[in-house]
Amino acid sequence: QQQVKQSPQSLIVQKGGISIINCAYENTAFDYFPWYQQFPGKGPALLIAIRPDVSEKKEGRFTISFNKSAKQFSLHIMDSQPGDSATYFCAASTGNQFYFGTGTSLTVIP
The reply to whether 53 sits near another protein by the rule CB under 8 A is no
By CB under 8 A, name the one of 12, 46, 54, 109 that touches another protein: 46
- Sheet strands side by side (includes 19-25): 4-7, 19-25, 72-77, 62-67, 56-59
Q: Rounded to an integer, what distance in angstroms lies between the CA atom of residue 21 and that of residue 11?
A: 8
Q: CB–CB of 90/75 below 8 Å?
A: yes
State in angstroms the smallest separation of the CB of 16 from another protein.
Answer: 29
By CB under 8 A, name the one of 50, 103, 106, 108 that touches another protein: 103
The reply to whether 88 sits near another protein by the rule CB under 8 A is no
Q: Rounded to an integer, what distance in angstroms lies between the CA atom of residue 65 and that of residue 61?
A: 13
The reply to whether 50 sits near another protein by the rule CB under 8 A is no
Q: Which residues bind another protein (CB under 8 A)?
A: 31-32, 34, 36, 41-46, 49, 89, 93-103
